[in-house]
Structure 1
């Protein structure tokens, strides 16, 4: 079985994609693509059994309704709800709030943060996949699942912060060390050095590992399937990393 992971950015230059090959002995990192363009990502998703994408797969349902109403006339502003509260409903999806409650981490707002640019690219990739006959189920039930590498690392008991950007190579190496200690069955092969130098590469690997957990049914499931198929659903690991080999 193959699982893939994509650390998506608005542009290919900051995007990494990883492919893990699984056997009875564990997993080996067979492919690491950086930079990764839309076609390469689509090809990888089609080839893999399950792919984890580190990017919101959709927008808050309330936000879409609000923007559509504003576009055609007057946006609905509730008179009996504090402004900060109703704006929060527009900024974060249901899955973001569930993730916040479960992990203490606050996902970036797809409607109010710069990750919205990345989500636009992700939407285009979903269109490419649909045109190829592989439509995406945003609840994670199909070949694609939304993941959050920092949350996966935290839930696995591994270092999960302070390793981003090229200035934090030591912290990045510590995450890799912890990962390999927790999962001795994981072989990064010829790509290990790159994972120690690029947080994008490492996050792609974490996304692929979370995709494996999803394929085995060892992640949280959407508690509102109808909404998750519109907004997306972040799959959070429910078992230790060592159980996914």
Structure 2
């Protein structure tokens, strides 16, 4: 008998009230969305991750190596002067290898965790990851543990479902269309009674997408870091993209 496997998706926001969580139940015959809700504190997130086979978390798992080195050198007054402080130099400092790889592969531009507001939920994740490690749960930045970094917008691009923005109140109509297209693209995914929740709130929809990508990672259907980026991914994190494009 095939035992049911649970996959979790987390759309992590700095504010627990805006954090989405989705849980998938994968059996031998179907993949059902068991629960989707928005609003989750750290205790709930830790509990969901620990009870899952794998969790996909929409948040950067680390900072650019060059940025970390710059901050450390600046603090110690050992930073060598760069030839220029122009856009190219800043780009090398502020973006991770995985950010640039996502841009190259699917044309999406991840936010810079070193210079954008995405740093707020990333700092929250650092604290949650510390709690998981305290419980004996391995959460390496490259996603080789129970939790992997995902980016729903890039996953949609990989599935050829990227289109009009679906975020916020103004994106409600686009979300309704996207949910229908997602059901067509992933016919094995049963949204059950949670379809309206995904249309009503983009945080809920992103959580479902994150859970689906976590399942792909577990099944070997997502792209790992290439050999030349393994070292960077071990420090900076790695955005796992589903295959199929």
TM-score range, shorter chain: over 0.9
Distance 1:112 1:62 in 2: 13
Q: CA deviation at 1:91?
A: 0.8
Match of 1:52 in 2: 56
Where structure 2 has 5 or more consecutive residues not aligned to the other structure, the ranges are none
Which shows bigger deviation, 218-227 or 41-50? 218-227
Where structure 1 has 5 or more consecutive residues not aligned to the other structure, the ranges are 241-245
Structure 2 counterpart SS, 1:229:
helix
Q: Does residue 225 of structure 1 match 2:226?
A: no
Distance 2:47 2:37 in 1: 12
The one-character-per-residue Cα deviations of 1:120-152 (angstroms, maximum 9, x if unpaired) are 001111101101110212111111111110111
What is the root-mean-square deviation in Å for CA atoms of aligned residues? 1.4
Structure 1 counterpart SS, 2:25:
strand
Distance 2:95 2:123 in 1: 16
Distance 1:107 1:229 in 2: 18
1:28 aligned to 7, 19, 32, which one?
32
Structure 1 counterpart SS, 2:241:
coil
Kept in 2, the 8 Å contact 1:153–1:159? The answer is: yes
Q: Does residue 37 of structure 1 match 2:46?
A: no
Q: Does residue 115 of structure 1 match 2:118?
A: yes
Q: In the comparison of the two structures, how many residue pairs are matched?
A: 239
Distance 1:161 1:207 in 2: 19
TM-score (norm 2): 0.93
Distance 2:232 2:90 in 1: 19
Distance 1:118 1:46 in 2: 20
Correspondences of 1:158-177 after superposition (within 5 Å): 158-177=161-180
Q: CA deviation at 1:88?
A: 0.8
Q: CA deviation at 1:76?
A: 3.1
Q: CA deviation at 1:37?
A: 1.0
Structure 2 counterpart SS, 1:45:
helix
1:235 aligned to 232, 236, 240, which one?
240
Correspondences of 1:189-208 after superposition (within 5 Å): 189-208=192-211
Which shows bigger deviation, 111-120 or 27-36? 27-36
The one-character-per-residue Cα deviations of 1:79-106 (angstroms, maximum 9, x if unpaired) are 2x56221211111000001111001111
